[in-house]
Amino acid sequence: MNAAQDTILRLEGLKMHFPVTSGIFFQRVQGWIKAVDGVSLTIRRGETLGLVGESGCGKTTLGRCVLRLYKPTEGRVEYDGQDITDLGNRDLRPFRRRMQVIFQDPYASLNPRMTAGRIIGEPLAIHKTVADREEQRRRVLELAEIVSFHPSMLDRFPHEFSSGQRQRIGIARALALNPEFIVADEPVSALDVSIQAQIINLLMELQQQMGLTYLFIAHDLSVVRHISNRVAVMYLGHVVELADSDVIYSDPAHPYTQALLSAVPVPDPAVEATREPIILPGETPSPLNPPSGCVFHPRCPMAEDRCSRETPEFREVRPNHWAACLLTPGYDQAPPVKP
Ligand code: SF4
């Protein structure tokens, strides 16, 4: 299999800017919120790409562009070799069956007036993939078993379940159409820590059984560590670093990743006692008016004068390790090729 066949999703220069308007009758555009501002990356078939960053950094917007729930302002979304950037709803339909989403808050994303069985079976009815009610019932039972959800609970309503059980319903619904690619948008953030591991293990088992590819979005580097093959770190609309998971954790190149990692507890108390967290000054700037040059420069502990003038490109600073930092060793030698 060559690299092109191995790629299931390719983003090129993706931008998603939202207008900020004023005026009641004649709305005037006052500015643009640059939620995603020039992201290029690929996701390989069968891998989990963890996408990490603080809330408001644009990761959920990026996921919605990938699923084409938003039409990007600029750039290209390529799914399985086909450009889907400008497709309308009708042409997107076959892709929507292959790409599904698992949401952060299973309670908010489940219709409170529908039973678990109806929620899981809804995509089958919408996409008309079953011949009759009997086939739908069989498929719902099958899906419930796959996510370890007891069939006796299928007649109950979302409020009767724990958050972990609700997330299992959300996962079963996402699997109903046999997708190959799933955007998991903070799927464990609303769950107790003890339940988080169960859901992550379930997602990993499903990936093995069904050959799924995940874009796994989280705000915490420790959550994605176990499940991700590669990790992309996002800051203020930009992906600032991308590498294999173990490399990101053992040898991060970008100062922002280094700061995020310094806040992740280490299991060994002796090592933990010697670590100093890197405290970033100030708040993340507004995506309405991002800083000049490197968008991280007002908070970066390593910033130099040039950082406010020069915009770093996303470069392969080491083999299969990409970073957007002017001062990262290897940056000046790396050719500006898109990942
Ligand atoms: Fe920090 Fe400068 Fe690198 Fe940006 S380019 S991350 S400001 S050192």
**pLDDT digit string, tens, across residues 174-225:** 999 999 999 999 999 888 888 999 999 999 999 999 999 999 999 988 889 8
| Average pLDDT of the residues of the chain | 92
Establish whether residue 312 lines the binding site of ligand 1, counting it when its CB lies within 6 angstroms of any ligand atom: yes
d(CA 146, CA 128): 21
Alpha-carbon separation of residue 100 from 103, 180, 183, 235, 247 (angstroms): 10, 8, 6, 25, 29
Q: What is the 306 CA–ligand 1 centroid distance (Å)?
A: 9
**What sign results for the dihedral spanned by CA atoms 237, 240, 246, 251?**
negative
Establish whether residue 294 lines the binding site of ligand 1, counting it when its CB lies within 6 angstroms of any ligand atom: yes
pLDDT at 4 over 80: no
Closest ligand 1 atom to 326 CA: 5
Establish whether residue 300 lines the binding site of ligand 1, counting it when its CB lies within 6 angstroms of any ligand atom: yes
Amino acid letter, residue 183 = V
pLDDT of residue 1: 46
Which of the pair, 128 or 99, is modelled with greater confidence?
99
d(CA 319, CA 141): 46
Q: What is the 267 CA–ligand 1 centroid distance (Å)?
A: 30
pLDDT of residue 5: 52
**Collapsed DSSP state (helix, strand, coil) of residue 57:** coil
Topology of domain 3-39+47-237 in CATH is Rossmann fold (3.40.50)
Establish whether residue 153 lines the binding site of ligand 1, counting it when its CB lies within 6 angstroms of any ligand atom: no
| 27-51 residue pLDDT tens | 788 899 999 999 999 999 999 999 9
Establish whether residue 327 lines the binding site of ligand 1, counting it when its CB lies within 6 angstroms of any ligand atom: yes
Helices (H), the chain: 3-6, 59-66, 89-98, 106-109, 116-126, 133-146, 163-175, 193-210, 221-225, 245-250, 255-262, 269-274
63 with 217: CB under 8 angstroms? Answer: yes
pLDDT of residue 337: 67
Establish whether residue 242 lines the binding site of ligand 1, counting it when its CB lies within 6 angstroms of any ligand atom: no
Classify residue 102 by burial, with Cβ atoms within 10 Å: 0-12, 13-18, 19+. buried
Residue owning the nearest CA to atom 3 of ligand 1? 325
Q: Which residue's entry shows tokens 């489940």? A: 110
Give the Cβ contact number of residue 133 at 10 Å: 10
pLDDT at 2 over 60: no
- Counting Cα atoms < 13 Å in the Cβ hemisphere of 304 gives 7
pLDDT of residue 43: 97
- Across 220-237, average pLDDT: 93
Which of the pair, 262 or 181, is modelled with greater confidence?
181
